[in-house]
Structure 1
Amino acid sequence: MGRANASYLPAVIGHFGDHVASGSRAARFLRQEKPLDDEALAALRRYSVSAYPGQEDGKALNAALAAGNGLHGEWAEAMDRTFAWTFTRDVILWRGFSTPFVPGEPSPCFVSASLVERQARKFRSRGGAGVAAILVPAGMPVTVPAFVWREGDDERTLMVVRYEREVVLPRGTVLHAEGHVRPFGDAVRASVMLCRARGPELRL
């Protein structure tokens, strides 16, 4: 297997330890702590919909939150109530980012990541700035778009949410940077930012 396809995971596990769960199979450690009310359900579906280009989705919500302009305030408040799941084990999520984020500061936006490494690397290959491996501690509230779409729903969205294995962290999450690893040694440019997530206090 060439380095272009070789996994970053061994180097990341070398930092965080082999007790952590990773990949699609880590979904079996998710536990739902409460049901979603109708407004929360609609907010999460709107956040993750992929029905057609230009559809108002999570990118529009996060842009408004980053700008601090108050747009989509009711949508954001309903999204806050979607964080009904936790992992029962520490889990590694992957995030491709287009511009360097500020570690150590609460995010004003919802933080989308994936259980699947290739999703973050695909984003980076399209012009993103880098890839982060995020350790999410057991018990931290998350929300999972794939759980609110069912057979018979929009086919494009259903395909996307299943393929992307997206997990969303709440706004106010702090990502503490713990350095970088170079999965294939210093002679190869590939680098992964290592972060540990701390969530805001949310009432489950």
Structure 2
Amino acid sequence: MASFAIDSHLNSKVAGLFFITCLITGLAIKHYVYGQKLGFTLTETHFQQHLYKGGWVLRWHNIRKIDTLDYTIQGWTTSIPWIGVEIKDYQAFISTISPKVITQILLHQRSLLYLGLKQHGRQHELEDHIINDKPFFYSDGSCVKGLKAMLANRMMIQKELWGYDLFIAESDVLTSKEEFVGMARRYLAASHSDASI
């Protein structure tokens, strides 16, 4: 009887260990598959980020400038691992993005929102901007609500804080941010001059 109790106790420990191992393996696989960054495409006509859940596309004629970001506080300036993209027309950009990608952008770039507010001494405004789903009106008078409005409102405050609307983390690019910005600027300049790269 005692050996049956020991075997039963041992079997439950082995079963529990097996379950935990399967759970950890499943979570690791999910993180790898869903978390991977699939890269960028730069062509003569557009600039595109590919993510597992979708991506976003910007035509070069809808980009005003691309540059690295600097963080300034109390008179000190330091480079941070982000690239900023200034967009001319939100509607052309936002109308093509899926809700999953919008959610990913909002979550991924919230640290920049906090840093931007902090460098302007406006940290107390964070809650007002983190989930701002007020209807957003495009320049043609049309209105968006929900996630698209949240993205447009976030882009507006980021533009006010940083001078850019959309951001790319340096960890998302395969080269240094300076090299990536240099390459993107060559495509941007060629698209505005109708030259080829």
**If the TM-score is normalised by the length of the shorter chain, which range does it land in?**
under 0.3
Greater helix fraction, Structure 1 or Structure 2: 2
TM-score for both structures, normalised by structure 1: 0.27
TM-score by length of 2: 0.27
More RCO (CA 8 Å, sep 6+): 1
